[in-house]
Amino acid sequence: MLDWKAGAEFLAGILVLGTIVFAAEQVVMSGLQTFTAALSALTLSITGMTAFSAGHMVSAEGLTVQIIPLCVGDIELAVLVAAIASTADRRFRERAYGIIGGTIFVFAANALRVALTMLTGIWYGLAVMDLVHSVLFRITLVLVIVGYYAAWYLRLSGKPIKTRVH
């Protein structure tokens, strides 16, 4: 049987907490852009390419891209943190670990996405890179949130706790 009240509380928590997290991210956005650029350059370097970052820019093999606010994963992070924090049937400790792991996962996934997009531009040209960028951004937006939350909820967070007496 569906618990409509619990569902409404979960969605309200995502809306309120997600808005708060997103607003907080905007305060430190420049730092997030610089961090994403550096992590993306590191990811490209792992492939053996010469890559570097300077501020919000990432360069590799003659291609330079700018990390704009949408590139840092702020939407994914805000929704994921809010969803985990709003999951009432998990203990506080499991939610805290889930948020820490989710934050690491979002930044790693974004660095990989930026690196793959840049590799596409280096290998196949800017027109293909633009298409891959558009598609990959939308896919990772959903997969990062849903994939991590599902893995955390079903496997990583332990057993549910009783939150209500029915």
Return the domain boundaries, the chain. 4-156
- Categorize the per-residue pLDDT at 70 as very low, low, confident or very high, splitting at 50, 70 and 90: confident
- Strand, helix or coil at 13? helix
What's the pTM? 0.86
Between 7 and 43, where is the model more confident? 43
Q: 């849903």: which residue's tokens?
A: 146
What token pair was written down for 8?
């409404």
* Under 8 Å between Cβ of 98 and 157: yes
- Strand, helix or coil at 166? coil
What pLDDT score was predicted for residue 162?
Answer: 64
Condensed to tens digits (0 to 9), the pLDDT of residues 102-130 reads 999 999 999 999 999 999 999 999 999 99
The CA distance from 56 to 41, in Å, is 11
1: exposed, middle or buried (Cβ count in 10 Å: 0-12, 13-18, 19+) = exposed
What pLDDT score was predicted for residue 166?
Answer: 45
- Categorize the per-residue pLDDT at 54 as very low, low, confident or very high, splitting at 50, 70 and 90: very high
User: Residue 158 phi/psi, 5° resolution?
Assistant: 85, -165
* Under 8 Å between Cβ of 41 and 53: yes
